[in-house]
Amino acid sequence: MKSNIGLIGLAVMGQNLVLNMESKGYRVSVYNRTKEVTEQFLGKRAKGKKIIATYSLEELVGSLEKPRKIVLMIKAGQPVDIVIKDLKPLLDKGDIIIDGGNSFFKDTIRRSGQLEEEGLFYLGVGISGGEEGALKGPSIMPGGNKEAWEQVKDILVDISAKVDGQIPCCDYVGPDGAGHYVKMTHNGIEYGDMQLISEAYYLMRELLGMSADQIQEVFKQWNEGELNSYLIEITAHILGKLDEETGLPLVDLILDRAGNKGTGKWTSQEALELGAVAPTIVDAVFARYLSAIKEERVEASKILKGPQPKFEGTASQIQDIIHDIGSALYASKICSYAQGFQLLDQASQTYNWNLKLGDIALLWREGCIIRAQFLNKIKEAYDRNPGLKNLMLDSYFKDVLERAQDGWRRVVSLAIQNGIPLSSFSSALAYYDGYRSENLSANMVQAQRDYFGAHTYQRIDKEGVFHTDWIDE
Ligand code: 6PG
């Protein structure tokens, strides 16, 4: 009996996707370059299930019903090209390769073009939600050939996360690299979310001197309100985790040096490429880079002096600041998402993808790392105005920002006065103030450019392009 679908790459994400597909009634063939991994998987987690082990690409291909559907869950980059090269001669026209890894969207555009010239189909599918999501229901962002999407739609919808147990967080996003682009942007927004949350935690620890369990209580409360989200929920959980050896809060023992696999960097590169204004997302990447130069920071801390954070206040004053931090976090989050969706909007126009921003928000409602009630508000905003230029201009978000800004400004000012680096909170506030400013300082930049480079400038009082000989002979 032929299998409905095949999967290559049995790291935990791949294994969990296989188990998810099998649990939905599909017969799945699997292949892994290291055969022991396949044997181990079949001997334990896949035992007794409709999961077929294969030990060569030929065997895998031969075990699949036509048109063949093969999911790649392998490391982004050259490994994908190598597997495609080995697979291609074994496939027939109409067969479909589904790349479920975090591939760079331009690689996906290249691969789908090359394969479709040879009569094969290629889908670049963003899959978000980590290992747990892969097993229980990820957010799935498929892009590529629409005919191929129709062939794999049922399987991907069946295994995806569902909103209210019914609306699938899986729908066709757009042609060629659109799916991987949306996933990349999800990760950029994720970086912003994670940085903003870490700054809220850091401020309560450094300025208010709160302990992990005191901060945990705050995050638990926040998770009951408008800040409800997976990342807020796991942050509360992290703050309650004690180290088995010392009994101390584990988070306090973790080295403050952040890693990254590159998806936030790609999002930032794309924002610069397209001229999309995404300072908070980019700042979150730089915040990781700054954290990574730990040794340098330790040395600099002995040389560069600044204020010692201190806050002496009553219990109610502390509660007021904590409320302000919550306002600042929600307002900054809105700015970060506004930046991410504006990038998607610009990419949609640049790459002719016709992205549906409201539908993308719904894809992220469950299953993915940035899943949150908040995404419903974004969907509603685009339902109210599909041509919305910027989320901040939507009536709901506009009101939230107006209500939050006093607390937001107090928090950023307090951090600055106490020498506490809240770069993402600050960049989000500067973005808000910059976006709503009719006049900025760029007239001085234009004057300088014309002074030393004769780059010309426009005027506010008459049409035309001008140059001035600034240096009086
Ligand atoms: C997801 C995650 C995932 C991401 C890891 C590592 O949506 O499931 O975003 O795709 O690759 O979280 O990301 P960084 O190492 O770049 O933080």
Q: Tens digits of per-residue pLDDT, 230-279?
A: 999 999 999 999 999 999 999 999 999 999 999 999 999 999 999 999 99
Which residues form the domain of 333? 183-435
Residues 84 and 108 in one domain: yes
Residues 451 and 416 in one domain: no
Q: What is the CATH number of the domain that holds 323?
A: 1.10.1040.10
Structural domain ending residue among the three candidates 154, 176, 198: 176
pLDDT at 312 over 90: no
**How many structural domains are present in the chain?**
3
| Average pLDDT of the residues in 62-86 | 97
Residues 279 and 154 in one domain: no
Residues 354 and 220 in one domain: yes
How does DSSP assign 4-34, residue by residue? SEEEE--SHHHHHHHHHHHHTT--EEEE-SS
| Average pLDDT of the residues in 192-203 | 98
Q: What is the CATH number of the domain that holds 117?
A: 3.40.50.720
* CB-ligand 1 contact for 129 (6 Å cutoff): yes
Structural domain ending residue among the three candidates 130, 158, 176: 176
Residues 267 and 141 in one domain: no
- Residue 183 annotated to the active site: yes
Residues 168 and 255 in one domain: no
| Average pLDDT of the residues in 390-419 | 97
* CB-ligand 1 contact for 139 (6 Å cutoff): no
> How many CA atoms are closer than 13 Å to the CA of 232, on its beta-carbon side?
22
Structural domain ending residue among the three candidates 128, 144, 176: 176
Residues 263 and 290 in one domain: yes
pLDDT at 473 over 80: no
How far is Cα 84 from Cα 101, in angstroms, rounded to an integer? Answer: 13
- Residue 310 annotated to the active site: no
List CB contacts of 449: < 8 A, sequence separation 6 or more.
455, 457
| Average pLDDT of the residues in 51-75 | 98
Residues 350 and 391 in one domain: yes
Residues 21 and 126 in one domain: yes
The model's pLDDT over 429-471, given as tens digits with 9 standing for 90+, comes to 999 999 999 999 999 999 999 999 999 999 999 999 999 999 9
The model's pLDDT over 132-191, given as tens digits with 9 standing for 90+, comes to 999 999 999 999 999 999 999 999 999 999 999 999 999 999 999 999 999 999 999 999
List CB contacts of 206: < 8 A, sequence separation 6 or more.
309, 418, 420
Catalytic residue among 2, 35, 69, 190: 190
Residues 99 and 77 in one domain: yes
Pocket test for ligand 1, best of 131, 263, 366 (most atoms within 8 A of CB): 263
Q: Whose CA is nearest to atom 10 of ligand 1?
A: 128
